[in-house]
Amino acid sequence: MIRVQGLFKEFDDPRSGVFRALDDVTFEVRPGEIYGLLGPNGAGKTTCLRILSTVLRPTRGLVEVDGINVVRNPEGVRSRIGFMSCNTGIYDRMTAWEMVEYYGRLYGIPEEKLQARITEIFNVLQMNDIRDRLGGKMSTGMKQKVSIARTIVHDPPVIIFDEPTSGLDVLVARAVLQAVSSLRDQGKCIIFSTHIMREVEKLCNRIGIIHRGKILAEGTLPELADKYQQPDVEELFFDLIQRREEEVRNSGANSEA
Amino acid sequence: MSWKNIRLVFLREVRDQLRDRRTLFMITILPVLLYPMLGLGIVEMMLTFSEQPRVVVILNADDLPTSPALLDQSGIGEEWFENGAEETSKLRVLAERTPQAGNEEKSARRPRRGEKTDEELLAVAHQLAEKIETLHGLRPVADESMEATATPQPTSAESPESNTSSTISSTDKTAEAASTEAKLTAAQNDISQQFGTSGFQVLVIIPKGYRAAMEAMQREIQTSSSATTGVDAKAVATRVPPVLVVRNSADDKSMVAFGRVQKALQSWEDAVRKFSFEQAGLPKELQHPARLAWIEVALEEQVAASVWSKMFPALLVIMALTGAFYPAIDLGAGEKERGTMETLLISPAKRVELVLGKFATIMLFSTATALLNLLSMGLTGQQMSAVMSDGMANRVSLDFPGLAPLAWLVILLLPLSALFSALCLALATFARSTKEGQYYLTPLLMVVMGLTMFCLSPAVEMTPLYSVIPVVNVALLLKGLLLNSASSGNLVVYAIPVLISSIGYSMLALWWAIELYNSEDVLFREAEKFDIRMWFRQLLRTKDAVPALPEAGFCFILILMLQFVAMTYMKPDLTNGDPGLTMMRLIVIQQLTMIACPAVFMGMLLTTSLRATFRLRMPSITAMALGVGLAIVAHPLTVELSQFLVEHQVFPELPESARQVMGLMKTGDKPTWLLLLVFAVTPAICEELAFRGFILSGLARGGRLAIAVGISSMMFGIIHMIPQQAFNAALLGLVLGLLAIYSRSLFPAMAFHFCNNAIATFHAGEGGRIVADGVFFSRDPDGFLRYDAPLLILCAIAGTLMIMHMIKVVIRDQDAKRRGLVPDFRDLTKGEEVIA
């Protein structure tokens, strides 16, 4: 469903010329599974997911979502994905219903089908009491619900969550995670980025640990624990990152020498 | 592109804006309420407003003639003012008279707090009068004439003493002032300062013995006109010493009071003249020998039109801009700030659709704001003029302009607000935050205001050139159409270029906005901390082979600034030596220091490879040949094009300085090698180093070559200042840029530049040798060599072929380069599928 192969992304950096945010990233996500992208801040998670959502263009490499190339047909990709992140805000001067309806229309869903779909989503997510509330007057939890409703209004086969729980309180974060897992149960192909280990342990079928634009390790949790002989994800994570840091330092020293 | 999505975005944005109370307030409430309230306020102020009376001191008022009398009991007589008592009340006249019984208590006016008493005022006035008279060399003269009149003798007029005082005559005051200017400046400060603190605004000094002198003169005329000898006009006029009226032009209060006093004195003088003529028994007609009558043909609505023609264009432009700006910031930067931009970008709507939807929204608000403002202002003005002019003699009615001008207003508003909307949307998209967006308003508003103010000047009228300058074209056309709706037939012709160019500019701005929406680094720019030291160190440390884009821009600005500074300091001194040589020397210095130096220094400082920056590579022989060939075929085309444009008044004739340079080429007294060195070799090296070297290398770095060539040639045009030359340079700059990109070397461009300038030099100078055959060459009445259609067609074909060839090669190279950098996804995917 999601196929990423040899993906590079470079930015023009006023300080050091070129900054390589993604360095030969390769992974694959299948329907009905949640792929966790685990990494510290600035590891390249958001860049990677933004490329998947066609907002950024890859410098090099192959990226396919649902069999469609993100460079050749970005509009096609966008209509097949749902994307939600802590950056995807909602409009202050629109009600919950209008917001979801607006996006539904942008996705080109026929009007009757759209109304039925929104009603269904509002029932499932228990949003009927905020139906006519303006975005500016909502609590963070309500906003997050609207965001989720907006993400899934067109019933996309692929859903991308970029740190969806960052900045949320425990209750709201839990609700979001529940929504994610129920989407997986519907057979969606989900990619989920976070820097919180517990979320990964709870949700993800497979994880990729990313740091400084490189995927350091990939596999199911038991596989990884087996391979690296670490008791839990947290230890594994720190161990991998430390090793990588040392590598970078050594190579830097070598090149200077 | 789907209209459905554009409509969706448009409807959402409009609803969003309408739900925003601030926007609604700015667009509807403010104009609808503000103007009537302002108008009401002004009316109120006018009603309660009374002008403070200004103080006029008249020294030695006793010496004024009694018939006709300038002063009455309260001050200057009402009959001397145009508006009678109304104006009298605005002047407080303090006339110095010798105390007489009965007059005593009247002059004792109690001063208000902080004001000087009459005695103090008179004391200061006397001091001032003394200083002024001494300064102007009047004192001793005044004394003599006083003596003369104290013991009146009929023969004193012919005495030699009086003749010395003839240097001052009332009609010759200015000439006198000029001759004593040196002395005047010495004491000027003192007098000016004392006058400023004196407490009065105008000082009138009646010289001693004024009345006696005037009466003597009148008697003289009477006797001499009755005699057959005639009047010795000069001898008579010199006898009356001048009345001095002192004012301070830098002080508004003084000027207002002076204006009144001057008018009163002039009408009084008319009366004196009339009286003298009657005394002398001269015919009445002599008083107004020219007999002038003034006739007004302006209709009431034309008066109104002239008021509106000044107000409406300015207001329309500014309101269309503000009306576009606030929604644009909200729709662009605001969306980024609130985090809804990314949400919107991942919807399947195309970027073009998003931009167009937003653009339509902004344009709607821009148009609405402008129209509502105009409507409200027009109605308020109409109402106000009706209220204010009640009972006034010269009624001014501000009736609303007719339907036809209003229709034009709406028609012209549309492209104008389209331009502003697109421009604002682009700027707002570029901004990281709403705050940053608002910073962009000030320069934009200032540029637009400047352009509008320029149009308000009555001397500025529509020309073909102005009809394609953004904002100016709409404002000028509107001004003309509102001014005389009846005779606007010839102006309507301009509507076509105005509309076409305005729409063109707005398309360009819209394209820019779409480009920005497609550019990921603009949409995801993070605000960075800016440290100037860090930045500078970084700038010097992390150099690249070729300059960065901002560095190229800075180089251009630097060159422009230097040129601007040079305009004042490098005026050729043409008075001594060989003016031609001086001018040529200046041209070379200017080229070297102000064009080549900045570019070369910046190149050495900021880049690692001068070779790459300045394209110092060996060109192919083909490229060099193309450079020379293109220059040869381009020359007749540019000559004829610019002649055509001048003949159709798109560009003004060359200014004097440019003609002088042209003259240098023509006179032929300079050796050919020198002319070539100055006009061809130097510019070819200097300008190419800067524009096709540093600047183009920096601009082309982003890989968008067409835009880089376009912008660099525009910059090249701008530094040529004179519109005609700027146009030529910009046009040739396109070819030069293409040559540089095509050959990857600066030398073909230099060859082109050299040949082009050299041919132009010979065209002005030695073109005379070519025989005008009437087919390829001909001459215009000035003997200027012109090119005929067959030659032009041949040149155009050859030029097009060469340019097409270069473009083809450049595109091929670009494709190859792109393929090398980024693998073609199609190929990759195919490979994948084969493996699978």
Per residue in B483-528, pLDDT (tens digit) is 765 555 677 788 888 899 999 999 999 998 898 888 877 777 654 5
Are B542 and A53 inside 8 Å of each other by CB? no
Confidence category of residue A27, pLDDT binned at 50, 70, 90: very high
Within an 8 Å CB–CB cutoff, is residue B12 touching chain A? yes
Considering only CA atoms, which of B300, B321, B368 is closest in space to residue B475? B321
Question: What six digits make up the tokens of B417?
Answer: 């607000």
Residue B674 has pLDDT above 80, yes or no: yes
pLDDT at B586: 82
Residue with tokens 């001057």: B262
pLDDT at B92: 83
**A53-67, B75-89, B333-347, B348-362: least confidently modelled range:** B75-89
Residue B175 CB burial class (10 angstroms; 0-12, 13-18, ≥19): exposed
Question: What six digits make up the tokens of B829?
Answer: 């995917």
Q: Where are the beta strands (DSSP E) in B646-796?
A: 777-779, 785-787
> Residue type for B413, please?
L
What mean pLDDT is predicted for residues B165-170? 47
**B64-78, B683-697, B732-746: least confidently modelled range:** B64-78
Residue B831 has pLDDT above 50, yes or no: no
Cβ distance A207 to A200 under 8 Å?
A: yes
What mean pLDDT is predicted for residues B114-122? 78
Confidence category of residue B539, pLDDT binned at 50, 70, 90: low
Q: What span, in angstroms and rounded, lies between the C-alpha atoms of B399 and A14?
A: 59
Q: Percentage helix, strand, coil, to 5, in chain B? A: 70, 5, 25
- What DSSP string runs through B375-432? HHHHHHHHHHHHHHTTT-SS----PPP-HHHHHHHHHHHHHHHHHHHHHHHHHHHH-S
Residue B143 has pLDDT above 50, yes or no: no
pLDDT at A230: 76
Residue B651 has pLDDT above 70, yes or no: yes
Contacts of B540 in chain A (CB under 8 A): none
Indicate which of B5, B343, B538 best probes the interface with A, i.e. most A CBs within 10 Å of its own CB.
B343
Question: Considering only CB atoms, which residues of chain A are within 8 Å of chain B?
Answer: 5, 11-12, 14-17, 50, 53-57, 59-60, 62, 64, 69, 71-72, 75, 78-79, 81, 83, 85, 87-94, 102-103, 105-108, 134, 150
Cβ distance B720 to B825 under 8 Å?
A: no
Contacts of A108 in chain B (CB under 8 A): 4, 348
Residue among B343, B528, B829 minimizing CB distance to A89: B343
Contacts of A62 in chain B (CB under 8 A): 825, 828-829, 832
What mean pLDDT is predicted for residues A191-211? 88
| Cβ-based neighbour number of residue B142 at 10 Å | 21
In this prediction, the answer to ipTM > 0.85 reads yes
Chain segment B174-226, per-residue pLDDT in tens: 666 566 666 667 677 888 888 888 888 888 888 888 888 888 887 777 776 66
Q: What span, in angstroms and rounded, lies between the C-alpha atoms of B641 and B636?
A: 8
pLDDT at A29: 92
**A153-167, B276-290, B550-564, B820-834: least confidently modelled range:** B820-834
Residue B18 CB burial class (10 angstroms; 0-12, 13-18, ≥19): middle
Q: What is the DSSP letter of B208?
A: T
Within an 8 Å CB–CB cutoff, is residue B528 touching chain A? yes
Residue B574 has pLDDT above 60, yes or no: no
Residue A48 has pLDDT above 60, yes or no: yes
Rounded to the nearest 10 degrees, the angle between the axes of helix B300-331 and helix B434-456 is 160
pLDDT at B400: 67
Q: What span, in angstroms and rounded, lies between the C-alpha atoms of A142 and A144?
A: 5
Query: Considering the entire predicted model, what is its pTM?
Result: 0.72
Contacts of B109 (CB under 8 A, 6+ apart): B118
Residue among B16, B343, B542 minimizing CB distance to A16: B542
Percent of chain B with pLDDT over 90: 11
Residue with tokens 């554009």: B6
pLDDT at B395: 52
pLDDT at B160: 43
What mean pLDDT is predicted for residues B417-428? 92
Determine phi and psi for B745, rounding to 5 degrees. -140, 155
Q: What span, in angstroms and rounded, lies between the C-alpha atoms of B476 and B488?
A: 12
Considering only CA atoms, which of B263, B262, B283 is closest in space to residue B274? B283
Considering only CA atoms, which of B296, B312, B443, B419 is closest in space to residue B370? B312
Q: Work out the minimum CA distance from A120 to partner chain B, whole angstroms.
A: 21
Are B347 and A107 inside 8 Å of each other by CB? yes
Residue B420 has pLDDT above 90, yes or no: yes
Are A55 and B520 inside 8 Å of each other by CB? yes
What mean pLDDT is predicted for residues B560-583? 71
Q: Where are the beta strands (DSSP E) in B184-285?
A: 202-205, 244-246
What mean pLDDT is predicted for residues B632-644? 86
Cβ distance B684 to B754 under 8 Å?
A: yes
Are A75 and B338 inside 8 Å of each other by CB? no
What mean pLDDT is predicted for residues B406-421? 89
Q: Which residues of A146-183 are buried (b: 16+ CB within 10 A; e: fewer)?
A: bbbbbbbbbebebbbbbbbbeebeeebbebbbebbeeb
Question: What six digits make up the tokens of A217?
Answer: 């390790």
Q: CA B552 → CA B515, B555, B599, B698, distances in Å? A: 21, 5, 9, 5
pLDDT at B312: 82
pLDDT at A198: 84
Q: Which residues of B637-663 are buried (b: 16+ CB within 10 A; e: fewer)?
A: bbbbebeebeeeebbeebeeeeeebee
Considering only CA atoms, which of B754, B787, B757 is closest in space to residue B685? B754
Residue among A12, A88, A89 minimizing CB distance to B521: A12
Contacts of B338 in chain A (CB under 8 A): 89, 91-92
| pLDDT mean across residues, chain B | 78
Question: What six digits make up the tokens of B472?
Answer: 């100016």
Residues B757, B758, B762, B765, Cα dihedral to 10°: 70
Half-sphere exposure of B316 (CA within 13 A, CB side): 32
Are B346 and A89 inside 8 Å of each other by CB? no
Rounded to the nearest 10 degrees, the angle between the axes of helix B351-388 and helix B300-331 is 150
Contacts of A72 in chain B (CB under 8 A): 825-826
Are B16 and A150 inside 8 Å of each other by CB? no
What residues form DSSP beta bridges with B786? B778
Q: What span, in angstroms and rounded, lies between the C-alpha atoms of B107 and B93?
A: 11
Residue B801 has pLDDT above 70, yes or no: yes
Residue B162 has pLDDT above 50, yes or no: no
Nearest CA in chain A to B702: A12
The 3-class SS string of A115-157 reads HHHHHHHHHHCCCHHHCCCEHHHCCHHHHHHHHHHHHHCCCCC
Residue among B338, B823, B825 minimizing CB distance to A92: B338
Confidence category of residue B406, pLDDT binned at 50, 70, 90: confident
Confidence category of residue A119, pLDDT binned at 50, 70, 90: very high
Nearest CA in chain B to A13: B521
Indicate which of A8, A46, A88, A160 best probes the interface with B, i.e. most B CBs within 10 Å of its own CB.
A88
Residue among A15, A60, A105 minimizing CB distance to B538: A15
Q: What span, in angstroms and rounded, lies between the C-alpha atoms of B250 and B255?
A: 8
Cβ distance B246 to B132 under 8 Å?
A: yes
pLDDT at B537: 67
Chain segment B308-320, per-residue pLDDT in tens: 777 788 888 988 9
Residue B810 has pLDDT above 50, yes or no: yes
* Residue B829, helix vs strand vs coil: helix
Chain segment A58-113, per-residue pLDDT in tens: 988 899 998 899 888 888 899 999 998 877 788 989 999 999 999 999 998 999 99
Residue with tokens 């990313």: A210
**Any idea how long chain A is?**
257
Contacts of B346 in chain A (CB under 8 A): 53-55, 78, 81, 83, 88
Q: Work out the minimum CA distance from A247 to partner chain B, whole angstroms.
A: 25
Residue B455 CB burial class (10 angstroms; 0-12, 13-18, ≥19): buried
**A233-237, B370-374, B399-403: least confidently modelled range:** B399-403
pLDDT at A103: 92
Residue B327 has pLDDT above 50, yes or no: yes
What mean pLDDT is predicted for residues B57-65? 85
Nearest CA in chain A to B526: A13
Greater model confidence, A178 or B777: A178
Considering only CA atoms, which of B260, B223, B239, B276 is closest in space to residue B85? B260
Within an 8 Å CB–CB cutoff, is residue B822 touching chain A? yes
Contacts of B608 in chain A (CB under 8 A): none
Residue B592 has pLDDT above 80, yes or no: yes
What residues form DSSP beta bridges with B779? B785
Provide the edge-to-edge strand list for the sheet that holds A2-13: A17-29, A2-13, A60-65, A68-69
Indicate which of A15, A52, A106, A161 best probes the interface with B, i.e. most B CBs within 10 Å of its own CB.
A106
Percent of chain B with pLDDT over 70: 77
Greater model confidence, B463 or B774: B463
Residue among A60, A75, A102 minimizing CB distance to B823: A60
- What DSSP string runs through B310-345? HHHHHHHHHHHHHHHHHHHHHHTHHHHHTTHHHHHH
Question: What is the distance, to the nearest Å, from the Cα of residue B571 to the centroid of all Cα atoms in its chain?
Answer: 22
Q: What span, in angstroms and rounded, lies between the C-alpha atoms of B476 and B467?
A: 8
Considering only CA atoms, which of B436, B409, B432 is closest in space to residue B320? B409
Q: CA B351 → CA A99, A162, B355, B356, B519, distances in Å? A: 19, 22, 6, 9, 10
**B185-194, B212-221, B773-782, B809-818: least confidently modelled range:** B773-782
Chain segment B7-29, per-residue pLDDT in tens: 999 999 999 988 888 778 877 78
Q: What span, in angstroms and rounded, lies between the C-alpha atoms of B124 and B195?
A: 9
Within an 8 Å CB–CB cutoff, is residue B673 touching chain A? no
Contacts of A106 in chain B (CB under 8 A): 5, 8, 347-349
Within an 8 Å CB–CB cutoff, is residue B176 touching chain A? no
Are A56 and B520 inside 8 Å of each other by CB? yes
Confidence category of residue B362, pLDDT binned at 50, 70, 90: very high
Chain segment B701-752, per-residue pLDDT in tens: 777 888 889 999 999 988 887 878 888 889 999 999 999 988 889 999 999 9
Greater model confidence, B430 or B150: B430
What mean pLDDT is predicted for residues B462-484? 83
Confidence category of residue B155, pLDDT binned at 50, 70, 90: very low
> Residue type for B495, please?
A
Cβ distance B164 to B238 under 8 Å?
A: no
**A9-13, B428-432, B622-626: least confidently modelled range:** A9-13
> Residue type for B202, please?
V
Contacts of A103 in chain B (CB under 8 A): 347
Confidence category of residue B158, pLDDT binned at 50, 70, 90: very low
Q: What span, in angstroms and rounded, lies between the C-alpha atoms of B703 and B811?
A: 12
